[in-house]
């Protein structure tokens, strides 16, 4: 088991930039990564499953969860509620896990505020607006109005890129996944995330000196 401490990786991007696929692939590739399943009031898409893709909730249920303080953060995105349940996120971090979450820019900001030292914010960019539009149209999940709303939001989200730590361009999915994987590896190796290991090494050195 690693003795470094865990952290949260927030993946944010305009819709259609491929962030859900990236999160899921990273989760498959690494056994130290856990995907945080959000709750939402948006309608379930044909290919989605409750409790796997999202916890699908009614508006009343979601508002009840807000009242009961069950979210680390929540936001209204494209007219629907979305939120990150508290679950065991803090516990997972203490167990050295990396919690990956696919949330919007407002959510990213809340996570940074709540976990200033334990959050890494990655912004995924499509190669260009044409690619983004094509991806939204090709996935045939949303109607034209929704697509328009999502493109409009993309403009506002890109304005907030300065609040992020890293940018990953998703021209080529495999390359983007490798980039996120590389960021996670580097973050794992930061000195301040390895204090326990360093402390133990120092103590062992002291003991060794005593014996000699």
Binding-site residue numbers for ATP are 13-20
Binding residue numbers? 13-20
Nearest residue (CB) to ligand 5GP, 25 versus 102: 102
Residue 3 C-beta: closest distance to ligand 5GP, Å = 30
Nearest residue (CB) to ligand 5GP, 82 versus 164: 82
DSSP assigned state of 40: E
Nearest residue (CB) to ligand 5GP, 106 versus 194: 106
Residue 176 C-beta: closest distance to ligand 5GP, Å = 16
Copy the structure tokens of residue 211: 């014996």
Rounded to whole angstroms, the Cα distance separating 33 from 6 reads 9
Residue number, nearest CB to ligand 5GP? 107
In the chain, the N- to C-terminal Cα span, in Å, equals 29
Binding site for ligand 5GP (CB under 6 A): 15, 38, 42, 73, 75, 77-78, 82-84, 102-104, 106-107
Nearest residue (CB) to ligand 5GP, 4 versus 82: 82
Task: List strands edge to edge, sheet with 39-40.
Answer: 55-56, 39-40, 80-85, 71-77
CB contact at 8 A, 95 and 33: no
Rounded to whole angstroms, the Cα distance separating 164 from 98 reads 18
CB neighbours of residue 11 within 10 Å: 23
CB contact at 8 A, 81 and 62: yes
Rounded to whole angstroms, the Cα distance separating 100 from 114 reads 15
Residue 26 C-beta: closest distance to ligand 5GP, Å = 15
Residue 154 C-beta: closest distance to ligand 5GP, Å = 10
41 Cβ neighbours under 8 A, 6+ residues apart: 56, 57, 58, 59, 62, 80, 81, 82
Residue 115 C-beta: closest distance to ligand 5GP, Å = 14
């Amino acid at each position: 088991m690693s003795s470094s401490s865990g952290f949260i990786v927030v993946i944010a991007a305009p819709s259609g930039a491929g962030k859900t696929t990236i999160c899921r692939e990273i989760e498959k590739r690494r056994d130290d990564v856990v995907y945080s399943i959000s709750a939402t009031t948006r309608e379930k898409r044909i290919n989605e499953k409750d409790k796997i893709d999202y916890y699908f909730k009614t508006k009343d249920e979601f508002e009840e969860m807000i009242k009961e303080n069950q979210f680390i953060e929540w936001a209204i995105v494209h007219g629907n509620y979305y939120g990150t349940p508290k679950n065991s996120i803090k516990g997972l971090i203490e167990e050295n896990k990396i919690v990956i979450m696919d949330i919007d820019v407002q959510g990213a900001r809340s996570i940074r505020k709540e976990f200033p030292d334990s959050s890494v914010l990655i912004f995924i960019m499509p190669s260009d607006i044409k690619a983004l539009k094509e991806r939204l149209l090709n996935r045939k999940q949303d109607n034209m109005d929704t697509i328009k709303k999502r493109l409009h939001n993309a403009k506002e989200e890109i304005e907030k890129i300065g609040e992020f730590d890293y940018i990953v361009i998703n021209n080529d999915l495999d390359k983007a996944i490798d980039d996120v994987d590389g960021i996670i590896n580097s973050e794992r190796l930061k000195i301040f995330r390895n204090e326990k290991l360093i402390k133990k090494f120092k103590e062992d050195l002291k003991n060794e000196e005593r014996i000699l």
